[in-house]
Each structure stands twice: as structure tokens, then as C-alpha cells.
């Protein structure tokens, strides 16, 4: 399990909200800090991956835990 | 400001009528590259919704003013957001109701011809995914061939036409979409037929679909013709000596790929024999009705997909490769990617797994990819 500086619970939210909230959290964080994101929207995986890439962030890891998808993104 | 929804059916009509449309697709770039709404008169712009969160001002100048704008995403949420943002900038647009999921599920029934004694033959065009299903109706009885997962559409259609579904056929065990055949048969008491060679692992009862089998509805005759090669069980149908349903063996502008059940090398010989011997012996006047189309150019003007067998023997490249090795290479090498989740789709069609509806939708996302060209 990876250490995160902050956790965003976006479970139950449908697209586009997981990304909207992730983006907002990331804005308030410092470069190098890690945000853990919990989502249930299956489409979030491809979108978070693409969003992190386009924003210059690092998707460090992701896991599936039952219905919940977990992502760790490091701010670039 | 409220924005307007456009139903998948309205978009389908625009595609069939070749009407102009501008699509702002806000899914991520990979999803757009993999699969999108196709049409002869559609212009596209793909910008992921997450690149528009700061505003859409920069996009506005790239949007046309002389054609309808449709914002499209996977499920609809992001497209509503973007359409609302556009509206605030004074740009009128609609969003695709239900997103690409609804597009994938939409079926457009098109009458493809008359049968003996007032019967009718309908093709159900799944325009977003390229699947084609059929219903033959004669004297209050119906037969369904290669039904898609959306069983209610077939049940409702038969009811509207005052017909009782008697026979449900699948030309083969599908790998690109989930069959609605078993559901329809259970709901109506109809007989469900599958080719036994494809059904070895199937866990439910079915009637064996074998070469020469004849079934009738009203005064119409449906005759089975074994034509292996896409799968080892693949079977075609001749209806009223007029129509040839070819399943995934022969398409309008391509032919079936032999690898989706894992045995391309073994089945390429069967594929060649079906196409170059069995079908050659049939009358060129038969109207070919395949189970898929791959590109929008394969649609006729009325939205149907069909062509005379004789014309296909002249025009379809896959039927005109005289060198056997060249044919073998074409259908076994450099094949397109396999359909999304095709192994799980096959297991679902065997009854081995029963994913819930939402998962089944996800499994079917994307194009059908059953052909080689």
C-alpha cells in the first residue's frame, strides 16, 4: 500500500465528477505530493490515466479492491 | 441553461440519410481512436472533457455555425457538462442521450424484402456496433436470427406485427456481442437452435442446428446450410430460396476472420471451402444478408445492408483470391485487434458466466471486428 498525502473519496460519482474533484484537489497540493483517489466509475481508469498524462502528473499505481478502483497520482 | 438531448435513434437517422453533423467527442483520445460514431457527412473534433474544465472559449472558434453540433461522451455526464459550457458561450449544441453506451445499443429495424404470401423480412441494424439481426414474419409466425442482447426490442417488434416467435437461430457462437437468442426463446417458448460444433461447452438446452435442417414459419421456409470457417459450427440460412443469411462468414466488403475461437490455422481451410465451393454452388440471385457491417459505406441508401451473391463474387476482394496461400496469409496474418472482452462474451453466450447488465454493456463496448479485408 502506497503512502498518500491526501485521499479523495469519489466513490459513487459518475463521470465527469471524479476528474473534476481530482483536479481540484491536485490544485491545492504541492509538486511531488501524492493523492490517493477512490472511485467506482469504471470509466475513470482510462480517463485518469489520460488526464494525468496530459497534466504532467504521474500515475504511480492503481489497484482494484472489489468494486472500488484506487489510484495514486503524484503531482508533477 | 438547459441543453437539448439527442436520442441515439435521431443520430442513426442522420447517419442513414447522410445528413451533416458535427461531433465534438469529449472522450479520451484512445477511446475516440478505437470507436466512434461513423457517418458519411460527419465532421469530428476530439477534445477530452478534462481538457475543457477551465473553459470552452478556445474551442468555440473551431466549431461550425452551419451544421448541428452534437457533444458525445461515454455515458452522457461529461457531454452534458460541455454542452452547458458551450451554451454559456452562446453556442447551441445537443448532447447524445445515454452516450456511446446508448449508441452501441440502438437498433434500427429496416424492411429488406417480402416473403411468400405476404410475409416480410426485417433487418435490425445495430448501427453503433455494426451487428445485424433478422426477423422473418409469415402468417402470424416469426423466426429470429442472430438476435442481439436487447431482447425486448425483438419481442416488442413481433408483438406489434402480431406474430408469435417460433424459431430462434444463432448462426454461430458469437464472440463480439452477447446473444439475445436464449432470452427470446425463454420468453416465447420458441425453439433455440445453435450449431452443435460451436456449442460443446454450452450449459443450457438447445436444438442442434445441422446442415439441411428445415424450419417453417407460416408459408416461409428457413433452410440451414453448414458453412464453417469463422467458427467450426458457422451455419448460413436460405430463406424462401431468395435470401442468404451468411452470419460472420461473408460480409458485403469483407469476409469472416477465422481466429476468434482460437483456431485460425485449423479453420482457414473450412473458410475457403465455404466461400469458394459451397457458396459458389448457390444461385447468384440470392440476396446476401450478413450478421455484420464494418464500415458505413456498406449501408444501402435505406440503411439496410445487403447485396446479391453474384455481385459479391465480382466485387468482394475476399472472394477473389485465387492463390490459396495468399488467402491463407490474408486471413491468418496481420489481423485487426480482437473484439473487446471477446473471451468473456463467448463464455456468456455459452451460459458459463452471467454478468449483470451493466457489465454486459461494458463488455460490448467498441466495434465488432469480426472481418478481414
Residues A16-40: pLDDT tens digits? Answer: 999 999 999 999 999 999 999 999 9
Beta bridge partners of A69: A39, A64
For residues B235-240, average pLDDT? 98
**Residue B104, H or E segment:** helix B99-105
CATH number at residue A47: 3.30.110.40
Name the minimum distance, in Å, from the CA of A22 to any CA of chain B.
Answer: 10
For residues B354-367, average pLDDT? 90
Q: What domains appear along chain B, each with residue ranges and CATH number?
A: 4-102 (3.40.250.10), 107-372 (3.60.15.10)
pLDDT of residue B365: 85
Percent of chain B with pLDDT over 90: 89
| Res A1 pLDDT > 70 | no
Secondary structure of residue B220 in the 3-state scheme: strand
For residues B192-217, average pLDDT? 96
| Structural domain total, chain A | 1
| Res B367 pLDDT > 90 | no
Name the minimum distance, in Å, from the CA of B31 to any CA of chain A.
Answer: 8
Percent of chain B with pLDDT over 70: 100
| Res B201 pLDDT > 60 | yes
| Res B265 pLDDT > 90 | no
Helices (H) and strands (E) in chain B, counts: 12, 20
Q: What is the mean pLDDT of chain B?
A: 94
pLDDT of residue B329: 92
Q: Which domain holds residue A36?
A: 6-74
- DSSP single-letter state for residue B148: B
**A42 contacts on B by Cβ (under 8 Å):** 362
| Res B340 pLDDT > 90 | no
pLDDT of residue B118: 92
- Residue A43 domain-assigned? yes
| Res B158 pLDDT > 70 | yes
| Contact check, Cβ <8 Å, B48/A47 | yes
Instruction: List the strands of the sheet with B69-72, edge to edge.
Output: B4-6, B94-96, B69-72, B21-25, B42-46
- Residue B144 forms contact with A (CB below 8 Å): no
Q: What ipTM was predicted for this assembly?
A: 0.89
| Res B327 pLDDT > 60 | yes
For residues B22-42, average pLDDT? 94
Interface test with B, best of A20, A39, A47 (most B CBs within 10 A): A47
- Residue A1 domain-assigned? no
| Res B52 pLDDT > 80 | yes
| Contact check, Cβ <8 Å, A19/B53 | yes
pTM here is 0.90
| Res B242 pLDDT > 90 | yes
Which of A20, A43, A54 shows the shortest C-beta gap to B74? A43
Residues B114-156: pLDDT tens digits? Answer: 998 999 999 999 999 999 999 999 999 999 999 999 999 999 9
For residues B215-238, average pLDDT? 96
* Residue numbers of A annotated as active site: 15
Inter-residue contact B361 to B101 (CB < 8 Å): yes
- Residue A37 domain-assigned? yes
Residue with cell string 479523495: A8
pLDDT of residue B1: 57
Whole-angstrom distance, CA of residue B141 vs CA of residue B124:
18
| Contact check, Cβ <8 Å, B78/A16 | yes
| Res B20 pLDDT > 80 | yes
Interface test with A, best of B25, B27, B28 (most A CBs within 10 A): B28
Whole-angstrom distance, CA of residue A45 vs CA of residue B143:
42
Instruction: Point out the catalytic residue in the list B73, B100, B131, B217.
Output: B73
Measuring CA to CA, which residue among B11, B241, B250, B27 is closest to residue B108?
Answer: B11
Residues B163-194: pLDDT tens digits? Answer: 999 999 999 999 999 999 999 999 999 999 99
Amino acid at each position: 500500500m502506497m503512502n498518500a498525502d491526501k485521499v479523495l473519496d469519489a466513490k459513487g460519482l459518475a463521470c465527469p465528477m471524479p476528474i473534476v474533484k481530482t483536479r481540484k484537489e491536485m490544485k491545492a497540493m504541492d509538486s511531488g505530493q501524492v493523492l490517493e483517489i477512490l472511485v467506482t466509475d469504471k470509466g475513470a481508469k482510462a480517463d485518469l490515466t489520460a488526464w494525468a498524462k496530459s497534466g504532467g502528473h504521474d500515475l504511480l499505481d492503481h489497484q482494484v479492491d472489489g468494486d472500488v478502483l484506487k489510484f495514486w497520482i503524484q503531482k508533477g | 441553461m438547459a441543453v437539448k438531448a439527442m436520442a441515439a435513434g435521431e443520430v442513426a437517422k442522420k447517419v442513414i440519410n447522410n445528413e451533416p453533423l458535427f461531433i465534438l467527442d469529449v472522450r479520451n483520445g484512445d477511446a475516440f481512436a478505437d470507436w466512434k460514431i461513423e457517418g458519411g457527412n460527419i465532421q469530428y473534433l476530439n477534445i477530452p472533457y478534462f481538457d475543457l474544465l477551465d473553459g470552452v472559449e478556445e474551442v468555440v472558434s473551431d466549431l461550425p455555425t452551419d451544421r448541428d453540433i452534437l457533444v458525445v461522451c461515454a455515458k452522457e455526464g461529461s457531454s452534458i457538462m460541455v454542452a452547458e459550457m458551450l451554451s454559456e458561450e452562446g453556442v447551441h449544441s445537443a448532447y447524445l442521450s445515454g452516450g456511446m453506451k446508448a449508441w452501441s445499443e440502438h437498433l434500427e429495424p429496416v424492411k429488406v424484402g417480402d416473403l411468400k404470401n405476404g410475409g416480410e423480412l426485417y433487418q435490425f441494424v445495430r448501427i453503433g456496433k455494426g451487428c445485424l439481426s433478422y426477423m422473418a414474419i409469415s402468417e402470424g409466425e416469426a423466426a429470429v436470427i442472430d438476435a442481439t442482447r436487447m431482447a425486448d426490442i425483438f419481442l416488442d417488434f413481433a408483438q406489434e406485427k402480431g406474430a408469435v416467435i417460433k424459431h430462434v437461430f444463432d448462426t454461430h457462437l458469437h464472440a463480439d456481442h452477447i446473444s439475445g437468442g436464449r432470452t427470446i426463446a425463454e420468453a416465447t417458448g420458441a425453439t433455440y437452435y445453435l450449431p452443435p460444433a460451436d456449442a460443446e461447452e454450452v450449459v443450457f438446452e438447445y436444438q442442434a442446428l445441422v446442415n439441411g435442417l428445415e424450419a417453417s414459419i407460416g408459408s416461409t421456409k428457413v433452410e440451414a446450410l453448414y458453412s464453417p470457417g469463422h467458427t467450426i459450427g458457422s451455419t448460413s440460412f436460405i430463406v424462401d430460396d431468395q435470401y442468404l443469411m451468411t452470419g460472420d462468414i461473408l460480409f458485403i466488403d469483407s469476409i469472416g476472420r477465422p481466429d476468434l475461437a482460437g483456431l485460425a490455422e485449423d479453420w482457414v481451410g473450412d473458410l475457403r471451402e465455404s466461400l469458394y465451393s459451397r457458396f459458389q454452388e448457390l444461385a447468384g440471385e440470392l440476396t446476401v444478408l450478413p450478421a455484420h457491417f464494418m464500415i458505413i459505406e456498406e449501408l444501402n441508401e435505406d440503411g439496410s445492408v445487403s447485396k446479391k451473391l453474384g455481385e459479391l463474387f465480382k466485387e468482394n476482394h475476399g472472394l477473389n483470391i485465387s492463390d490459396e496461400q495468399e488467402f491463407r496469409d490474408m486471413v491468418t496474418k496481420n489481423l485487426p485487434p480482437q473484439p473487446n472482452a471477446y473471451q468473456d462474451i463467448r463464455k456468456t453466450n455459452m451460459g458459463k458466466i452471467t454478468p449483470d447488465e451493466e457489465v454486459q454493456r461494458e463488455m460490448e463496448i467498441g466495434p465488432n471486428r469480426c472481418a478481414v479485408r
